[in-house]
Structure 1
Amino acid sequence: MPEGHTLHRLARLHKRRYAGAPVSVASPQGRFADEAARLDGQVLVSAEAYGKHLFHDYGPHGTVHIHLGLYGTFAETPLPETEPVGQVRLRLAGRTHWTDLRGPTRCELLDAAQTDAIKARLGPDPLRRDAKPERAWDRISRSRTSVAALLMDQAVLAGVGNVYRAEVLFRHGVAPLVPGRALDRGLWDAMWADLVTLMRHGVKIGRIDTVAPEHMPAAQGRAPREDRHGGEVYVYRRAGMPCLVCGTEVASRELVGRNLYWCPSCQPA
């Protein structure tokens, strides 16, 4: 599932390409046809992301809420348009480009109250300037749930996924199964600031890089990481491989339906 930096990149791209002018909206697949007909020819006011959610604001005509889930993808193409290929839920066309959306978990037209309700149930997003990290701390500091599970709970923290979760815990030497209430406030503040930095970098370059210069492939004389997620990471999807810092074998286990990765030496219980 795409993490928050991907949705913020999409919001910036769609705002730059389509906002402020009338757009063509269609649903070749038909599952969004009635809503598309209401929006076709209207002005896209803005696009924004909140966590893993994307919102296309059409002012008084409503807001399109998109959640990509595990299988949703956007395809961005310069004009002229061609016939849709596959199950295109939503096609958006503007002055220079067109965009096809396939396979999202959510693609729905909402009014202002419904849009606000979605945002209200999400935790603070490290990529938003209006984020209030103390909201997340309030939940974490009172919880017996493991910090690894809390970081993936979108009601606690919005936009953080499995990669950022594993990497920020490693970077701060936090054992993933420690309960949230055992964290020190100063440590949480440092983790939040690190997430802001890492995720902003992800928005800028379009991939997740979490490794310090001294641990990069060129510095350590190793081959670059090959993974469809891209980027250089410390522990994510490196189970059984040596830790880049201490050489200990990276551990893995399932937690709340997702694979968790950590270094037992750098993140002692």
Structure 2
Amino acid sequence: MPEGHSVHRIARQFERNFVGRTVAASSPQGRFAEGAAVLDGRTPTEARAVGKQMFLAFDDLWLRVHLGLYGAWDFAGEILVDPTIASANGRMGQTNQRGTVLGDEPIMDAAGENSLSSIGAPRRTRVHVRMSEQTTGLGDDLEWPPPVVGQVRLRLMTDITCADLRGPTACELQSTDEMLATVAKLGPDPLVGDVAEGEERFTRAVRRKPTPIGQLLMDQNVVSGIGNVYRAEMLFRARQNPHTPGRDVPEETVRALWRDWVRLLAIGVETGQMMTMDDLAPEDYRKAMASRDDRHWVYHRAGLPCRVCGTAIVVEEMAARKLYWCPRCQA
């Protein structure tokens, strides 16, 4: 499932490519035909992400999209790169089709975790997208408009840019009041609202609940945007047992978890990858950016030795999701 950093990146792409431009909307699949007809010919005025949900405003009407486990947005055509999203070494450049750009040389990520052409569930790109610091060209080999491939719930298209939505858990139109009510139910997001206030909300919510902290971090009513990868990595970084009831986790640890989420989310939005290891040597950093297997402490490492103590990492089910942790470091 796309985690919070991906959804914020999607919102930023919509802000730069669609806001202020009249869109043609359609539902090739047919499942959102009525909603698409309402949006057709209208102009987006704002793109907003809160946790794992994106909201695209059309004046007083909002398109709410939750990608869920399998959803993704496919972008094609002329894609303006957000200059606020630099590569992880601080230079300009966002991504090429399948890797983060460090200077002029892309670091390829076989998992497609930070692909710009398709943001959400990893998938192979189906269009030719040439990246630069400012824009991508249409290219002579790109058919326009792009052919509809597969089950596209919603297609939004300007004269030069196309976005196809596939497989979302939620795709609906909301009034402003309905959108605000949806957001009000969500936990704090470090990139939305006051960070200090978010810390207080998160700390209060965790400290009053008997639910294991490993479940609370995945509860979008407690905190927005954390998914399976960040959950496992944050708990390991805090050396926190995932089974400890939230009310029994020391307050300083709860606050440290929030502050770590603030930091990791910012890195994820910047690089497009869930980088959770710190202070890597340059070559190790390049390996980590190129391969998910080299950028995490415990996630997806069941049976492998802990990078700190050598104990075998265990995997178990928690709230119907796989939980990876070290039984020694997080005892």
| TM-score normalised by structure 1 residue count | 0.92
Alignment of 1:24-39 (within 5 A): 24-39=24-39
Q: Is 1:73 aligned to residue 57 of structure 2?
A: no
* 1:243 aligned partner: 306
Distance in structure 2 (CA, Å) of the matches to 1:55 and 1:230: 32
Structure 1, unaligned stretches of length 5 or more?
none
Q: Is 1:87 aligned to residue 86 of structure 2?
A: no
Alignment of 1:11-160 (within 5 A): 11-60=11-60, 62-78=61-77, 80-130=144-194, 132-160=198-226
* 2:255 aligned partner: 189
Distance in structure 2 (CA, Å) of the matches to 1:105 and 1:189: 31
* 1:257 aligned partner: 320
Deviation per CA, 1:11-64, whole angstroms, max 9, x where unpaired?
A: 00111101012111111111111111121111100111111101110013x100
Distance in structure 1 (CA, Å) of the matches to 2:230 and 2:244: 17
Distance in structure 2 (CA, Å) of the matches to 1:81 and 1:192: 43
Question: Residues 230, 122 of structure 1: CA spacing in aligned structure 2 closer, same or farther, 3 A cutoff?
Answer: farther
Distance in structure 2 (CA, Å) of the matches to 1:32 and 1:11: 20
State the aligned residue count: 264
Contact 1:90 1:102 survives alignment (8 Å): yes
Paired letter, 1:205: T
Question: Residues 30, 111 of structure 1: CA spacing in aligned structure 2 closer, same or farther, 3 A cutoff?
Answer: same
Contact 1:28 1:88 survives alignment (8 Å): yes
Question: Residues 250, 149 of structure 1: CA spacing in aligned structure 2 closer, same or farther, 3 A cutoff?
Answer: same
Alignment of 1:166-177 (within 5 A): 166-177=232-243
Distance in structure 1 (CA, Å) of the matches to 2:267 and 2:300: 20
Paired letter, 1:246: C
SS in 2 for 1:31: coil
Paired letter, 2:325: W
Distance in structure 2 (CA, Å) of the matches to 1:127 and 1:224: 25
Distance in structure 1 (CA, Å) of the matches to 2:147 and 2:227: 34
Residue 211 of structure 1, CA deviation: 0.9
SS in 2 for 1:152: coil
Distance in structure 2 (CA, Å) of the matches to 1:23 and 1:209: 35
SS in 2 for 1:55: strand
Contact 1:17 1:96 survives alignment (8 Å): no
Paired letter, 1:253: E
Distance in structure 2 (CA, Å) of the matches to 1:265 and 1:83: 52
Residue 218 of structure 1, CA deviation: 3.0
* 2:94 aligned partner: none
| TM-score normalised by structure 2 residue count | 0.75
Question: What RMSD, in angstroms, separates the aligned Cα atoms of the two structures?
Answer: 2.1
Distance in structure 2 (CA, Å) of the matches to 1:130 and 1:26: 37
Residue 95 of structure 1, CA deviation: 3.9
Paired letter, 2:181: A
Compare the two structures and name the one with the higher helix fraction: 1
Within the candidate set 265, 270, 273, 1:207 is matched to 273
Contact 1:4 1:158 survives alignment (8 Å): yes
Paired letter, 1:157: V
Paired letter, 1:174: Q
Paired-residue identity, %: 44
Question: Residues 266, 77 of structure 1: CA spacing in aligned structure 2 closer, same or farther, 3 A cutoff?
Answer: same
SS in 1 for 2:273: coil
Q: Is 1:10 aligned to residue 76 of structure 2?
A: no
Distance in structure 1 (CA, Å) of the matches to 2:303 and 2:293: 19
Contact 1:5 1:127 survives alignment (8 Å): no
Distance in structure 2 (CA, Å) of the matches to 1:129 and 1:96: 33
Distance in structure 2 (CA, Å) of the matches to 1:226 and 1:19: 32
Deviation per CA, 1:227-254, whole angstroms, max 9, x where unpaired?
A: 6x67600001101101111211111111
